[in-house]
Chain A
Amino acid sequence: MLTRRDFAKTAAGSLIVSLGARAEAAVAADPSNLQAWLEIRADNTILARTGRGETGTGMSAFYAQVVAEELNVRPEMVTLIMGDTDRTPDGGYSSGFLTGAANMRKVAAYAYQKLLELAAEHLNTQSARLTASDGMISGVNRSVTYGELLRGRQLSLTIPLKGEPVRFAPVGKSSVTGLVWAGMGGLTVTGDPPVKPISQYRVVGKSFPMPGIPAKVTGQTIWCCDVELPGMLHARMIRPATLGSTVLSVGVLDNSKFPTAQVVRKGNLIAVVSPNEWEAVRAASAVAASTQWSQWSGLPRSEDLTQALRAHPWGAPGASKGDGVEVQKALATAAHTISASYEQPFITHAPIGPFVAVADVRADGTATVWSQIGHLQASRARLAHLLGVPPEKMIVRWLDHAGQFGRKTFGGDGAEADAVILSQMLGRPVRVQWSMEEDFAWSTFSPGWCADIKGALDAAGRLTAVDCAFYSPHMFDARPLGAILARMPCGTVQPGGFLDAQWPYDKVEHCLQQVFAMDNIAWDSPYGGLRGNIMRTPGQRQQNFLIESLVNEAVAVARADPIQFRLDHTSDPRLIGVIQETAKAANWEFRASPGNDARRTGSDPITGRGVSVIVRANAYWVGLAEIAVTPSTGLIRVTKFIVGVECGKIINPRQLDRCIKGGIVMGVGEALKEEVTFDKAKVTSTDWSRYRILTMQETPEIQIVAISRDDHSFGTGGEAPNALPPPAIAAALFDATGANPRRIPLTPEYVRTLLAAG
């Protein structure tokens, strides 16, 4: 690899710089141009553009830090434009922070080399003699700021790229339309510009504040729900009476009561619009009351879900990893074997703010959409496909909204399709605001699943082979509801094998992991049933629960300590390191589980502790749950949760702390409370009293042991922590009671049943 100084000498291209500002759209249209990514202004401030959005995890701070680090400026000097399809270049998944950061890091590094070249010429010296600090390049006696170097001009630099914009294309097998997406990863900056060694970092590794916070705290932020356009109509949707009902007759609108309201219908998509939002709400409610829908009852009830999944003819696995023959042999000759089945109901993303979008579709076919989507370019491709216009005519702008936790990753789920369809029909800008009940009932879900595990232990209590088989409905159906109901073009991939577990225990000789897939529950119904989608730490969250539960069952068979057992089954120094550090910080007492005081009865709380591990995206995690459970009531209180993490170089300790705590809160809620319920016709958990998430009072004390390393680059800190609590809390319940829960959520009712079963 080139050193920073060699690079300046050999860099291709001239020192000619372009003059004047370019229109933003033109800039973004050519992402191989540096200005599509980065502009250095005369006042030494820097404008950076990324196609990724801020999801609440602090990415807006991290991008500024990564850019500032390579350019040797303060992060306060960096302003970001995020997400907008007409003003930003790369456009991959918002969840792909690591790839987004890698892009920005390289772009900034390319730009920095060019600045050194210019400065060498300006200062009449060799670039090898130059140093840079705070936006100023210094030679022996003289200095020049970036702004002075570039006054009125911009760096002329071609950014090498690979990848392609998202588009709908006939790729592989597909459902519904024969079209699926391509280019979902967006553009990747290639080449190997010299980047600053991590050991020399001055900005990355510090707790730079998230830039958007002051505006949010003072009420200045323009949120997605705040967009207001001249002539805009407010829309409220009237959804089918059940998950499969089609419209028989649309209710009557009483214009004497609702003089400005209007009913709009396309297929089974029905809306009431009005320039007055409250009138739209009331009129929609009145029209809904007299709208007739067909009967439909094609769902299994949620309490019968596992039975329905078990009855499904799964066929061959969609994905498989490992050697089944060797695993079978090991199981056949094992001193001890484990065999168990696990399950989890549907859960959902449950943002605090329901979907909202504004669309302005013009007669000339151009359209602008304001969205909280996590993948703007995918949304643009989908919406253009839906309307039958070229993507170039479609602009999707990103604005803050409630955290979505993955459901917007594929650019489909949301109010955007409703909005563009209505705006096209009405010839006016339309704002579509879903209600919370609508959001709970009609957005996508993280599907319920069931699974079978087998484990083989030798006479010494060592785990020698494991077999995990995971069965789940579709996890990638992000088709927009509006398009489905209006019977307009939309597509999804066929359900496949989403095998996304990293196996942390390399000392276990034989491991077989298989994932079996099926369509959505009630796929054959008019709208494709319960649309399954990804949710924070997707796939791996569920599959890791299985792996870690298997390990915890093996720990129990071996009468081993759960920390020691894990250390004994891995040779990965990074995993060993974080487990040891965390155990030390927690004053871990090494002993077998269940504890000596374990009991299944009584009205006094009993304590328990449990362990889980996850390895994901260059990050190593261990979770230690401490709980108190009252056998007579079945109520579990998580009193403390200790998290150990080693995710390479930590970019921003404060924001990592926030992400981890938020993830643990979500994971504890998933472990104890969360469950989507449905009867045979519709979703019934449609408000916060029926879809219950963790409250402040239930939030445990959270202790974090974070290890930052200069010898490994960034890992993912925002995901994974929410996957830690379920297996650790389940193991803690076993530790406290000796009863092994093989289902989450661990509701009081389920725990009482479990303990009574003996």
Chain B
Amino acid sequence: MITEEQTNQAVAEILNSHKNEKKNLIPLLQEFQAKLGYLPKKSMQEIADFLEMPEVEVWGVATFYNQFRFVPLGKYHIRVCMGTACHLGGGKLILEALERELDIKVGETAEDGNFSLERVACIGCCMLAPVIVIGDKIYPKMTPFKVEEALIPYKQEPQSENS
């Protein structure tokens, strides 16, 4: 989790680099999320004050778009492509396999904070369908069987850190 102090500092930095114009609302939300990993409640209030608009309007815009999140992501964020080509190639089975392997539902973050799972519409790699993305790495031509294999290095890493 991010401390309040860190949040405050990040918020101030980002706000200072923008003008008080309504068209900057979405860029502000995007930069906050890029910096903080998600949009904490406090940041929404800050943006509303800065742009001199009701906080509810900021929430309205933020909740309208798929990109914005209001809970922190896992250390490894997994995106499952659910575009047409991936669907036809069995994307739903891949998603189910991930839910099984990670023991979380899509949209959730695991309790230990290691993994979070998200479905996305299309990442534009249709010729490699079905694909998943772990962090920045794209895993092409997945099968439910290969899911387990793909997760191994990520599941092992936290242990090696402890040892």
A binds B: no
Residues of chain A whose beta carbon lies under 8 Å from any beta carbon of chain B:
none
Residues of chain B whose beta carbon lies under 8 Å from any beta carbon of chain A:
none
